[in-house]
Amino acid sequence: MELRRERPVGKADHMPESEQPERIKLAEEELAIAKREVERGRVVVRTPVEERDELAEIALRREDVTVERVPVGLPVDVAPAVREEDGVLIVPILEEQLVIETRLVLKEEIRITRKSRTELVREPVRLRSQRAEVVRLEGRDPDIPNPKERGTYR
């Protein structure tokens, strides 16, 4: 507690001393507030890894091809281009044959057919996740009670 100032009571400040009434001095208190840090406790956080098995599922597209050799045996002047007819890729195979002159003969064609299908694939996978474990430790100030607390957070 601190006495800050005195205040006189009465109106007779300019009167002679014999005529002045008796004075009572009053005191007033002022409050000063401060704060300080106090360690109430500590916590320890651990992050262990947990594993769990789950079934992963996805639709995969697969293409199968069939290769068919078709003999042709036609003489040609120019090599035919690779072409596609009704979803079938046709690749011409050429050879030179010796006749009195050399000529280009379409010996065979390779026909490649694509078939697309979708199948459901199930594959077991291992997934991992972490969880936080919090352990509260006692503080350093013995005057302030602090119960131990423990919690787990995800």
**Residue 148: pLDDT over 60:** no
Q: When comparing pLDDT for 136 and 14, which is higher? A: 136
Instruction: Confirm whether pTM is higher than 0.85.
Output: no
Higher local confidence (pLDDT), 39 or 139: 39
Q: What does DSSP assign to residue 25?
A: -
**14 has a pLDDT exceeding 70:** no
Give CB contacts under 8 A, 24+ apart, made by 40-45. 40/139, 40/141, 40/144, 40/146, 41/136, 41/137, 41/138, 41/139, 41/146, 42/136, 42/137, 42/139, 43/134, 43/135, 43/136, 43/137, 44/134, 44/135, 44/137, 45/132, 45/133, 45/134
Report pLDDT digits (tens) over 108-140: 998 888 888 999 989 998 989 988 888 888 766
pLDDT higher than threshold 70 for residue 7: no
Look at residue 90 and tell me whether its pLDDT is greater than 90.
yes
Say if residue 41 is exposed, middle or buried (CB neighbours under 10 Å; 0-12, 13-18, 19+): middle
Give the pLDDT confidence score for residue 1 in this predicted structure. Answer: 47
Locate the domains of the chain by residue range: 41-56+123-153, 58-122
Predicted pLDDT at 37? 86
